[in-house]
């Protein structure tokens, strides 16, 4: 057990280091000069050069990499070139939007997907299965930004139940803030739920054909109890794997969804920072997201051990 966990942690750390090199290198190769972007077309070359020096962009490459990493380790994320405020302040404001959004979406997609998957698996090949899987096929196929626009036209423009976009801030009260997150969360969750439901169904169907299920049924255990106690638990590993992967997709999805709903979240921050070549913000926020994704996957790895006693015994 301990060896298994230690190995997972070591892999996670190595992934982080690799990711930091890739992120830094990609942004280094990316054409575009933050100083020129800031000063625009009318500034002279000398002036641009001067601002580059002020920003520290003229330092040697390796120096800048280690400077950045060294600061990240002590949780100093640097200062934004464009906003000229500490990146951590920007991140803190944005996490307050993106994290609740991602969690609501994750909860929604799980709450929808698992019952649907269970239902479909228990009626395999019958009408209910065909309908729910047909609907989920559509869910998989629909791009989330398009689905988002449909939701906006229906609930904001036509019914006027919720605003068409924007975020009033948590200071405006829990309900107004939640109201602003409902449509984006649904737009994010439904396509994910569709995938998750299909995976759940598939995993359950495989488990349901196992010998021990037949044994359980043969000893007179009710079907429902078999489904919940034996089948679902054993089908959890693929479901958890997909759930972990989906968290990364959710974070990526927020970049698009936050732009469609103009929410001031992390996704929007990255998007703006890339177009403005605010390299330090991009680097730091991407690393933060990478860390989050790795942590979530680490959690998933740990939860395998909880779900599957065989993994616990392995040492």
Partner 1 sequence: MRLWKTVLAATAVALGCSTAAFAARTDLVLGMVLEPPHLDPTAGAAAAIREVTYANIFEGLTRIGPNGEVLPDLAESWTISEDGKVYTFKLHTGVKFHDGTDFDASDVKFSLDRARAEDSQNAQKQLFAAIDTVDVVDPATIKVTLKQPQGSFLYNMGWGDAVIVAPESAETNKEKPIGTGPFKFQNWAKGSSVTLVKSDSYWGDPAFLDKAEFRFIPDASAAVPAMLSGDVQAFPNMPTSDSLSQFQSDPRFKVVVGSTEGETILAMNNGKPPFDQPKVRQAISYALDRKAIIDGASEGLGQPIGSHMSPSSKDYVDLTGTYPHDPAKAKELLKEAGLANGTKVTLKLPPPPYARLGGEIIASQLRGVGIEAEIIPVEWAQWLDQVFTKKDYDLTIVSHVEPNDIGIYARKDYYFNYQNPEFTKVIEDLDATADEGKRKELLGKAQKTLADDAVVGFLFELPKVGVWDAKIEGLWQNQPVPANDLTKVKWND
164 binds partner 1 (CB under 8 A): yes
29 binds partner 1 (CB under 8 A): no
Instruction: For residue 46, give Cα distances in angstroms to 5, 39, 104, 153, 261.
Output: 54, 11, 50, 50, 40
176 binds partner 1 (CB under 8 A): no
- Given candidates 163, 245, 249, 252, which one binds partner 1 under the rule CB under 8 A? 163
Supply the minimum distance, in Å, between the C-beta of residue 88 and partner 1. 13
142 binds partner 1 (CB under 8 A): no
Supply the minimum distance, in Å, between the C-beta of residue 147 and partner 1. 12
C-beta of residue 148 within 8 angstroms of C-beta of residue 254: no
- Given candidates 2, 3, 31, 218, which one binds partner 1 under the rule CB under 8 A? 31
| Shorter beta-carbon distance to partner 1: residue 266 or 296 | 266
**H or E stretch covering 313:** helix 309-313
Nearest 5°: CA angle at 69, between 68 and 73? 120
Spatial distance between the Cα atoms of 296 and 247, rounded to a whole number of angstroms: 8
* Segment 50 to 79, residues that bind partner 1, using CB under 8 A: 50-51
- What the block records as the tokens of 62 is 């390796």
String of DSSP letters for 162-191: S-SS----GGG-HHHHHHHHHHHHHHHHHH
259 binds partner 1 (CB under 8 A): yes
* N-to-C CA span, the chain: 5
| Shorter beta-carbon distance to partner 1: residue 113 or 263 | 263
Supply the minimum distance, in Å, between the C-beta of residue 158 and partner 1. 9
- For residue 182, give the DSSP letter: H
Binding segment toward partner 1, per CB under 8 A, in 119-127, 246-254, 264-272, 293-301: 264-272
Binding segment toward partner 1, per CB under 8 A, in 11-19, 82-90, 133-141, 291-299: 82-90
- For residue 158, give the DSSP letter: I
Supply the minimum distance, in Å, between the C-beta of residue 190 and partner 1. 19
Calculate the CA dihedral of residues 34, 38, 40, 43 and round it to 10 degrees. Answer: -90
**H or E stretch covering 168:** none
Count the residues in the chain.
315
* Half-sphere exposure in the Cβ direction for 31 (13 Å, CA): 0
Spatial distance between the Cα atoms of 218 and 308, rounded to a whole number of angstroms: 24
- Given candidates 69, 156, 177, 298, which one binds partner 1 under the rule CB under 8 A? 156
315 binds partner 1 (CB under 8 A): no
Binding segment toward partner 1, per CB under 8 A, in 111-119, 136-144, 258-266, 297-305: 258-266
- For residue 151, give the DSSP letter: H
Supply the minimum distance, in Å, between the C-beta of residue 146 and partner 1. 9
169 binds partner 1 (CB under 8 A): yes
Spatial distance between the Cα atoms of 250 and 266, rounded to a whole number of angstroms: 12
Calculate the CA dihedral of residues 88, 89, 92, 95 and round it to 10 degrees. Answer: -80
Stretch 88-107: interaction string toward partner 1, x if CB under 8 A: --x--xx-------------
Stretch 195-234: interaction string toward partner 1, x if CB under 8 A: ----------------------------------------
CB neighbourhood size of 181 (10 A)? 20
Q: State the residues that interact with partner 1 by CB under 8 A.
A: 30-33, 36-45, 47-48, 50-51, 82-85, 90, 93-94, 149, 152-153, 156-157, 160, 163-167, 169, 259-265, 268-269, 271-272, 275-278
């Amino acid at each position: 057990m301990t060896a298994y966990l230690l190995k997972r942690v070591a892999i996670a750390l190595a992934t982080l280091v690799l990711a930091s090199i890739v992120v830094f290198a990609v942004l280094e190769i990316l054409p575009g000069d933050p100083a020129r972007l800031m000063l625009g077309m009318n500034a002279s070359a000398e002036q641009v050069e001067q601002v580059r020096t002020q920003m520290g962009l003229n330092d040697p490459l390796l120096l800048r990499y280690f400077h950045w990493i060294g600061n990240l380790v002590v949780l100093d994320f640097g200062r934004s070139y464009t906003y000229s405020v500490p990146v951590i302040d920007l991140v803190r404001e944005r996490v307050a939007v993106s994290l609740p959004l991602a969690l609501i979406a994750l909860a929604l997609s799980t709450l929808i997907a698992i019952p649907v998957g269970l239902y479909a698996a228990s009626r395999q090949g019958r009408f209910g299965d065909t309908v729910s899987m047909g609907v989920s096929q559509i869910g998989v196929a629909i791009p989330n930004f398009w689905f988002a626009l449909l939701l906006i036209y229906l609930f904001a423009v036509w019914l006027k139940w919720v605003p068409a976009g924007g975020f009033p801030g948590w200071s405006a009260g829990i309900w107004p803030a939640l109201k602003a997150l409902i449509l984006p969360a649904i737009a994010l969750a439904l396509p994910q739920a569709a995938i998750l439901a299909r995976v759940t169904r598939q995993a359950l169907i495989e488990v349901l054909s196992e010998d021990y299920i037949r044994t359980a049924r043969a000893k007179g255990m009710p079907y429902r109890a078999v489904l919940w106690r034996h089948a679902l638990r054993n089908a959890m590993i693929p479901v958890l794997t997909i759930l972990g992967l989906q968290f990364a997709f959710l974070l990526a999805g927020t970049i698009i969804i936050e732009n469609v709903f103009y929410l001031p979240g992390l996704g929007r921050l990255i998007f703006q920072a890339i177009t403005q070549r605010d390299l330090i913000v991009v680097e730091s926020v991407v690393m933060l997201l990478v860390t989050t994704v790795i942590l979530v996957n680490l959690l998933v790895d740990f939860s395998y051990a909880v779900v599957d006693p065989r993994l616990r015994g392995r040492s």
